[in-house]
Structure 1
Amino acid sequence: MAAMAKAILLALLKVLMIVIFAGWIALWILKPTTLWTRKWKGAEDSARHTVFGYNGLNFAVFTFPLIALTIIGVVYLNLVTKEPPRSRPARSAPVGFSNPVVVNSFVGILSSMEILAVFLFLLFLAWTYYARISNDFKKLMPIKSLKLDLWQIKYLRVATRFGLLAEVCLALLLLPILRVLPIFQLIGIQFEASVRYHILLGTTMIFFATIHGASTLFIWGVSHHVQDEMWRWQKKGRIYLAGEIALVTGLVIWITSLPQIRRRRFEIFYYTHHLYIVFLIFFLFHAGDRHFYMVFSGVFLFGLDKLLRILQSRPKSCILSARIYLFPSKAIELTLPKDPRLKYTPTSVIYMKIPSISRFQWHPFSITSSSNSDNHTMSIVVKCNEGWTSSLYDVIQAELDSDAGSMNCIPVSIEGPYGPASLDFLRHDSLLLIAGGAGITPFLSIIKEIASLSSRRYRFATRVQLIYVVKKSQDVCLLNSVSSQLLNQSSTQFSLNLKVYVTQEESSNATVVGLVNDFSLVRTVNFSTKCSNYAVHGLDSSVLMAAMVALSSIKFLVSLIFFNRIFVPTEMKSSASQKVAVPSENKASKEKTPSSVVDLLLLASFIIALACNTFVAIILRWKRLRKDIPAASPKQGNKAIELAGSVEASTVEDHEIHFGGRPNFQADILSKFSDETGGSDIGVLSELCLVIEDSNK
């Protein structure tokens, strides 16, 4: 009975989210039309006579739908069961749309659903631009302060409407990088995959904004008004200087985000990316509060998400132990303390900062352990190449080489874990896992999860084939944590077959068992936990986070209404935020309340909402840490160096190793595996990652 009620509730929430999202999309489609403009002016006039004013109407119509969608989505994801299925769930029709269609080094992997979404977004941009510019050309009006020719007026309108396209991109820009409030997870897209949408939207926004700004400067130049217009900070209308500052700031952020700078000079990327605060403030001054409400939902949710992440990553935890793989592999397995009640799904990711190495760098790592088998700890594997990871290797190596009587304590800050809401991969009879280099780490947790489920009454894949592509044979050391599943399959109830492809070495007589034995020599060290006694406790309750989002939106609206009632005179409420000229008889009242003051009131209301939310979150976090979060349980504080010997040999003969080339996925892998499984239901997961990249928190 309870299961049926839960299913009905999930269905209702899903329908409600679809209705809200469809309404939000319809709003954007109708907004460029003259019909919407005419009706909306009437709605604003009516709203001015209410306690909410036009500000409340704009917030409710343009901003709140996405906030409401997020609140419902967080509750929905919390209700979606993370328990492995006891029977196979029915396959949904959209599954085929998520299969890869385009695989390219430039755009990555694109599914048919993603291609369709990109096409519809471009179509929407074209519609918005056409609807606006065609209406502008029908009623061209000369600008009194500028004496322009007809072609100059038309070109200026063209430039202005490119600014609207940049505004559309800005409305979506911050949504893909939400972690605690993951909107994209509602459609099955995890944070690691959604970051590329943030990059594409940011690049597109800067492209349109640059055309908008450069074209406007060009018209000012040919009409000899550059000096007059460029440095103007108008009391009314669009503030040109603010737009110029926002454009320059956006260009600086975009340039320092290029891979060539981000990977080599992470601190520059990190510092300049925080200029987004400057960019958003001056965009508000340039566009005005009405336009800002169109993009405010993303800003609002990102501010809350950032706040919750900062609070969640405190207090600091520590590293319990480290297993360092001997030369030449340079890989480390770190063990962290975990709250036994913290459960996470396979392929989950944590973000880790080690202040002793860098005070600012946060790096993402896939969890390689299973919360079903490891109640008090979680593990990650770090492939140490260069930069931050190389510094980590040196720190651990220095501790191993130290002659001190006890190990030091290494404090760390942990954010997460973030992972999928459900175990969809378990619905398949067979799994084909394809990994390259450090991309093997998410699959280690899948293998351990299946192994832990094999002794329980759960549905799991009984046949797993792992395709591992590496540059050097030494990289197979990353398989050390699943060596027992690979080499002692008599103790498991599922079949695990491994095929290794070594691309940069010639043919050899080595076997998989031999390589795992040869490159599985490790030295283990247990660290002190004196610097921090807190275990990783994970995110707060989803219901609590949804309540905090709702509380913040209410506090913002109340503050906004309060400020406007006090600081904006009644006679000005009809024109204070309009970005058009007002009659000369209203000049005195116009100068009384500049439009930038209304913008500042919006900004102040947002800051107050965040401050109140911060206070509540800190109190709740303090109570939870004081009562609920267990202390980290160290193994031993003193130095305990262990030299692990070779893993036990096995009679497994199905594992294969190939040298000197990459696999032919269609002929050698997909077709063959399909034949071997007899056409049963097969799930294919790929994680081809040869380089660990930095990530900005």
Structure 2
Amino acid sequence: MSTSPAVVSVLRFILLLVFVGWLIIWIVLPTKTFRDSWRPNLQDHLTSTYFGDQGVNLVLFSFPVIFIAALSCVHLHLIQTRKSNKVSYSTYYSTSFASFWRRPASVKAPLGIVTAMELGFAVMFVALLVWSLTNYIHVGFAHLHNMHMKPIPGLKEWEAKLRSVSYRLGLTGNICLAFLFFPVTRGSSILAMFGLTSESSIKYHIWLGHLSMVLFAAHSLGYIIFWGITHQMAQMLEWSNSHVSNVAGEIAIICAMAMWVTSIPRARQKMFELFFYTHQLYVLYIVFYILHAGVSFFCTILPGIFLFIIDRYLRFLQSYQRAELVSARILPCETIELNFSKSQGLDYNPTSILFINVPSVSKMQWHPFTVTSNSHMEADKLSVVIKSLGSWSQKLYQQLSSNSVDHIQVSVEGPYGPTSLHFLRHKALVMISGGSGITPIISIIREIIFQSTKPDSHVPPVRLICAFKNSADLAMLQLLLPISVTPFNFTKLQLQIEAYVTRETQQQPPSDPHKLLQTLWFKPDPLDSPITLVLGQNTWLWLGAIISSSFFLFLFVLGIVNHFYIYPIDHNTGEHYHVSFICLWYMFLVCASIFIVSSAIFIWCKKQNAIEEGKRNQNAKLSTPATDIELQSSPHNHESLIAQATQVQYGTRPDLKKILLETKGSDIGVLVCGPRKMRHEVATVCSSSLAHNLQFESISFNW
């Protein structure tokens, strides 16, 4: 199936138009023009017995983003069906303008590595916050005793201004909250439209979290000071029927502070489990925030939360099924490779991430790992490599290396990954890894090997610079080649490997020569099933259907509840029906709509997947794969193939600055994955004026 480029271009233009319009609403929102002119006019037309005063916010803030998310799904589906998919992405990213904006603009703490585009958007977002706060304060000072504030006899002007500023700080923090959940929505069509993944966007979530917490902490502290100086500390125990609930706000800020403190880098690194479990308080935080702020503010932040709930529920539906773990390879460097069975229709791109939960190690913890297998070359297998570093991975390694298990229960979420192979756009690649950072490199090299098997293919030559602490870690290089590769396919790949062993001056003999490599085969379990796509082959189309259908179902049921139940009691006055009950209605209807629609589509897709998989298995039985001989004969060649391409240096570290600056070529893609210091060093070199030919791309999974 081929899609006209004109159709794709029109969709992009519509998406851009709606997105810009949505941003303009946020810019105009704090102004006097919006308050005194736009909103009253809109309320006259949109206020009804079905949606009350919230019709304005639903139209201005919720509908545009839901429309963008649903239409983005259609756009991504059309892109996938185009035969020129990868070429179009390559053309886009290879322009000099795009390359400039993707270059590192800052490599310093606390932001870390930030590209020129990221820095530009960050500056504009901060400018939006400053603009909003100053306008809110300016308008607020002109209406110190408006209807949002309870009149207090004898209130001094400076006290009224303190209350007004505290209130406006909360309004500004609401802007951050409106964007907070977009980066952590793993299957987001909006992130995919921007060429982002959830893993690469985690830093945006962190930045937004810090900004929102500063504003909300100042908002809370300002009110506490105001209540103290006006002798109203009893207000802290108020849960109003018609106004904001102070108690709910206090519970929300306590939950938020707990998440904030434990997310500080030093605390997170030393006490990851505390950070992980504390961060689950986000559910209580959002619930009590909505009970505190009311449905008006809920409708402004609804899109991010709505899309996140859809993603979270689909992840739950996938993780509820146990994944079929076929085997595990235990390497001598305390590294394990887990091999899962997968459906042949499951395709994914290099550097994709699979989240894994092993109940026998920890029932609650989920950990992300890079998928190292190639979906084209290994049609029925999905592999991840886990280096024994933290307490969770060490427990898993000890459990497997004991050889006392014949089956392990595993649940997975994903895989999640980029929508394009943009690294193939470069004329040459320099890949730099440190320790376990070689795992995403494995997936990229395997993809390049596959691309090299295509007729008239042109793949970039690859220079791999990898640093390991011990010589035993060199065994990870054997994972670069899939078991199905042949010497002919490997010679078509121009691969040069330079390995550095930093803590040893010469190769050390293995501690146990009889256990160089162990392979464990697990007994099949009828409750296990191959890893499949949650929504089948047409994932983006079904996701778009879930987003649009669940949102319209929410609006439909909300309109019925408002028209036939709430309005007869309250008549849109906000005085006769408890405001907290209205908030609970909104939250319940959002969740119920998502659960109903998502469950129905998931069940349908699961049945279709089973039918398609049965047809594939039947066809597989009727035909004998031509690669069977290959699979049996090729493994013993892997070690020699890798050894021929590898140069090992002991007792030294790679001089990355010298290596990069001496690299010749007009378009060199530099991919680095490893410790923070290594990534920053490479980014500094690539951002210098002496490295115009180097295009930096960091692959980082360290928050």
- What's the TM-score once normalised by structure 2's chain length? 0.86
Question: Given residue 66 of structure 2, which amino acid in structure 1 is its aligned partner?
Answer: I
Q: Which of residues 332, 338, 359 is equivalent to 1:334?
A: 338
Q: Percent of counterpart pairs with the same letter? A: 30
CA change 1:85–1:306 in 2 (3 A) is: closer
Q: Which of residues 230, 244, 261 is equivalent to 2:236?
A: 230
SS, match of residue 4 in structure 2: helix
Q: Which of residues 294, 306, 312 is equivalent to 1:306?
A: 312
d(CA) in 1 for partners of 2:553, 2:676: 46
SS, match of residue 568 in structure 1: helix
Question: Given residue 61 of structure 1, which amino acid in structure 2 is its aligned partner?
Answer: L
Question: Given residue 607 of structure 1, which amino acid in structure 2 is its aligned partner?
Answer: C
Matched, 1:22 2:20: yes
Task: Report deviation, 1:437.
Answer: 1.3
Question: Given residue 27 of structure 1, which amino acid in structure 2 is its aligned partner?
Answer: I
**How big is each residue's C-alpha offset from its partner over 1:521-572, in whole Å with a ceiling of 9 and x where there is no partner?**
3111211112544111124121011101111100110111111112223584
- 1:687 matched to which residue of 2? 673
Question: Given residue 201 of structure 1, which amino acid in structure 2 is its aligned partner?
Answer: L
d(CA) in 1 for partners of 2:325, 2:139: 62
- 1:640 matched to which residue of 2? none
d(CA) in 2 for partners of 1:438, 1:430: 23
CA contact (8 A) 2:433 2:466 kept: yes
SS, match of residue 663 in structure 2: helix
Alignment of 1:500-511 (within 5 A): 500-506=499-505, 508=506
Task: Report deviation, 1:244.
Answer: 1.3
Task: Report deviation, 1:125.
Answer: 0.5
CA contact (8 A) 2:356 2:410 kept: yes
CA contact (8 A) 1:450 1:460 kept: no
SS, match of residue 446 in structure 2: helix
Question: Given residue 279 of structure 1, which amino acid in structure 2 is its aligned partner?
Answer: Y
d(CA) in 1 for partners of 2:566, 2:456: 63
Matched, 1:118 2:122: yes
CA contact (8 A) 1:521 1:646 kept: no
**How big is each residue's C-alpha offset from its partner over 1:54-109, in whole Å with a ceiling of 9 and x where there is no partner?**
33332122112111111112222223248785797462332321122222464232
CA change 1:165–1:396 in 2 (3 A) is: same
d(CA) in 2 for partners of 1:524, 1:654: 26
Matched, 1:611 2:610: no
- 1:324 matched to which residue of 2? 330
- 1:356 matched to which residue of 2? 360
CA change 1:99–1:146 in 2 (3 A) is: farther
CA change 1:602–1:651 in 2 (3 A) is: closer
d(CA) in 1 for partners of 2:555, 2:79: 31
Question: Given residue 657 of structure 1, which amino acid in structure 2 is its aligned partner?
Answer: V
Judge which range, 343-352 or 182-191, deviates more: 182-191
**How big is each residue's C-alpha offset from its partner over 1:184-216, in whole Å with a ceiling of 9 and x where there is no partner?**
222222221111111221121111111100111
CA contact (8 A) 1:169 1:205 kept: yes
- 2:455 matched to which residue of 1? 457
Matched, 1:556 2:546: no
CA change 1:483–1:311 in 2 (3 A) is: closer
Question: Given residue 529 of structure 1, which amino acid in structure 2 is its aligned partner?
Answer: P
SS, match of residue 673 in structure 1: coil
- 2:60 matched to which residue of 1? 61
- 2:72 matched to which residue of 1? 73
Alignment of 1:245-394 (within 5 A): 245-263=251-269, 265-326=271-332, 329-394=333-398
CA contact (8 A) 2:323 2:528 kept: yes
d(CA) in 2 for partners of 1:341, 1:195: 29
Task: Report deviation, 1:360.
Answer: 1.3
Cα RMSD (Å): 3.2
CA contact (8 A) 2:145 2:151 kept: no
Alignment of 1:130-169 (within 5 A): 130-141=134-145, 144-145=151-152, 147-169=154-176
SS, match of residue 440 in structure 1: helix
CA contact (8 A) 1:325 1:522 kept: yes
Judge which range, 686-695 or 26-35, deviates more: 686-695
- What's the TM-score once normalised by structure 1's chain length? 0.86
**How big is each residue's C-alpha offset from its partner over 1:378-410, in whole Å with a ceiling of 9 and x where there is no partner?**
1111101231101111111122xx4xxxx6221
CA contact (8 A) 1:444 1:482 kept: yes
Judge which range, 549-558 or 40-49, deviates more: 40-49
- 2:533 matched to which residue of 1? 538
Question: Given residue 22 of structure 1, which amino acid in structure 2 is its aligned partner?
Answer: V
Task: Report deviation, 1:155.
Answer: 1.6
Judge which range, 476-485 or 7-16, deviates more: 476-485
CA contact (8 A) 1:417 1:539 kept: no
d(CA) in 1 for partners of 2:549, 2:42: 26
Judge which range, 67-76 or 621-630, deviates more: 621-630
Matched, 1:217 2:224: yes
d(CA) in 1 for partners of 2:268, 2:514: 32
Task: Report deviation, 1:121.
Answer: 0.7
Question: Given residue 369 of structure 1, which amino acid in structure 2 is its aligned partner?
Answer: S
- 1:597 matched to which residue of 2? 581
Question: Given residue 64 of structure 2, which amino acid in structure 1 is its aligned partner?
Answer: P
Gaps of 5+ in 2: 621-634, 678-698
CA contact (8 A) 1:429 1:460 kept: no
d(CA) in 2 for partners of 1:184, 1:561: 31
d(CA) in 1 for partners of 2:613, 2:644: 46
Gaps of 5+ in 1: 577-589, 634-643
Question: Given residue 47 of structure 1, which amino acid in structure 2 is its aligned partner?
Answer: L
Matched, 1:673 2:634: no
SS, match of residue 8 in structure 1: helix
Question: Given residue 252 of structure 2, which amino acid in structure 1 is its aligned partner?
Answer: A
**How big is each residue's C-alpha offset from its partner over 1:221-241, in whole Å with a ceiling of 9 and x where there is no partner?**
1121112x1111112222222
d(CA) in 2 for partners of 1:231, 1:155: 20
Matched, 1:521 2:516: yes
CA contact (8 A) 2:163 2:226 kept: yes
d(CA) in 2 for partners of 1:279, 1:146: 34
- 1:636 matched to which residue of 2? none
Judge which range, 556-565 or 188-197, deviates more: 188-197
d(CA) in 1 for partners of 2:191, 2:593: 24
Task: Report deviation, 1:339.
Answer: 0.8
CA contact (8 A) 2:182 2:188 kept: no
SS, match of residue 141 in structure 1: coil
Task: Report deviation, 1:441.
Answer: 0.5
d(CA) in 2 for partners of 1:285, 1:145: 24
Task: Report deviation, 1:122.
Answer: 0.7
**How big is each residue's C-alpha offset from its partner over 1:366-389, in whole Å with a ceiling of 9 and x where there is no partner?**
111111111111111110123110
Task: Report deviation, 1:167.
Answer: 0.6
Task: Report deviation, 1:489.
Answer: 7.9
d(CA) in 2 for partners of 1:150, 1:533: 68
Question: Given residue 291 of structure 1, which amino acid in structure 2 is its aligned partner?
Answer: F
CA contact (8 A) 1:313 1:413 kept: yes
CA contact (8 A) 1:487 1:650 kept: no
CA contact (8 A) 1:86 1:457 kept: no
Question: Given residue 412 of structure 1, which amino acid in structure 2 is its aligned partner?
Answer: V
SS, match of residue 461 in structure 1: coil
**How big is each residue's C-alpha offset from its partner over 1:345-382, in whole Å with a ceiling of 9 and x where there is no partner?**
11111111112211111111111111111111111111
d(CA) in 1 for partners of 2:396, 2:669: 36
d(CA) in 2 for partners of 1:430, 1:695: 26
CA contact (8 A) 1:253 1:275 kept: yes
CA contact (8 A) 1:555 1:609 kept: yes
d(CA) in 2 for partners of 1:608, 1:684: 46
Task: Report deviation, 1:160.
Answer: 1.3
CA change 1:155–1:100 in 2 (3 A) is: same
Task: Report deviation, 1:694.
Answer: 9.9
CA contact (8 A) 2:166 2:219 kept: yes
Q: Which of residues 406, 422, 425 is equivalent to 1:424?
A: 422
- 1:639 matched to which residue of 2? none
Matched, 1:242 2:239: no
What is the number of residues matched between the two proteins?
Answer: 651
d(CA) in 1 for partners of 2:486, 2:547: 49
